[in-house]
Amino acid sequence: MTKIIGLTGGIGSGKTTIANYFHSFGIPLYIADDEARKLMQSIKIVNSIKDAFGESLFENDILIREKLAKIVFDNPEKLQILNAIVHPAVKSHFKNWLLQHQSNSFVLYEAAILFESGSHKNCDFVIAVTAPVDIRIERVMKRDKTTRELILKRMEAQWTDEQRISKSNFVIENISLDKAKQKAEEILKILEKRQ
């Protein structure tokens, strides 16, 4: 049976870079945030978001993600409302995706809020990607052209590295990409032995 490897890490930890490195070894990769973004364009979810947050977040029926982010990261209750709309759709989408990859020994499920969403319960193993907060902030500021304040708000909405580490089977510290890749290869060898 296909084993699900959950891969998670806080914003700016470099989890997608590490996930793509695992993918380069032929492991199918499901990036929950990317799929959620696509699913949020479906009529059903657009209507649910309009009902919950109002029409002002849309221009020509296209969601203005920055406006939504500002609302939900300023208010934990609103973030819960959004998650209740999006997570079930992602869960269902992943189930269908998984059926298409049943011949693989492993698949990788990458999600920023793997634990917060409860998705870790469906994983056979979990890998946490970590990096010091300052490095993470610097990476996100460069990548998203955003402010330190907004990044810190998003970090506050996520678990800490310590919380993730305590519930993970493996940890990859991603300060030096070469060392992080080396650790990923070591983990892959361990997982292959456990098949």
Q: What is the DSSP string of 62-95?
A: EE-HHHHHHHHHH-HHHHHHHHHHHHHHHHHHHH
Is 73 within 8 Å of 153 (Cβ atoms)?
Answer: yes
pLDDT at 182 over 80: yes
- Spatial strand order of the sheet with 125-130 comes to 29-31, 106-110, 3-9, 125-130, 170-173
pLDDT, tens digit, 9 for 90 and up, residues 166-180? 999 999 999 999 999
Question: What is the pLDDT, as a whole number, of residue 74?
Answer: 83
Instruction: Tell me the DSSP string of 24-62.
Output: TTT--EEEHHHHHHHHTTSHHHHHHHHHHH-GGGEETTE
Q: What is the DSSP letter of 109?
A: E
Backbone phi, then psi, for 17, in 5-degree steps? Answer: -60, -45
Question: What is the pLDDT, as a whole number, of residue 150?
Answer: 87
Tokens 């999600």 belong to residue = 111
In the annotated binding site, the residues are 12-17
- Domain 3-193 fold is Rossmann fold (3.40.50)
Q: CA-to-CA distance for 30 and 189, rounded, in angstroms?
A: 21
Torsion angle of alpha carbons 166, 171, 175, 181, nearest 10°?
-170
User: In which band, very low, low, confident or very high, does the pLDDT at 84 lie, cut at 50, 70 and 90?
Assistant: very high
Residue 4 bridge partners (DSSP): 107
Half-sphere exposure (CA, 13 Å, Cβ side) for 17? 20
Question: What is the pLDDT, as a whole number, of residue 154?
Answer: 87
In the annotated binding site for ATP, the residues are 12-17
pLDDT at 195 over 80: no
What is the token pair recorded at 112? 């920023």
Q: Structure pTM?
A: 0.91
Q: What is the mean pLDDT of residues 16-35?
A: 96
Is 133 within 8 Å of 127 (Cβ atoms)?
Answer: no
pLDDT, tens digit, 9 for 90 and up, residues 29-81? 999 999 999 999 899 999 999 999 999 999 888 889 888 988 988 888 999 99
pLDDT, tens digit, 9 for 90 and up, residues 104-160? 999 999 999 999 889 999 999 999 999 999 999 999 999 988 889 889 988 988 899
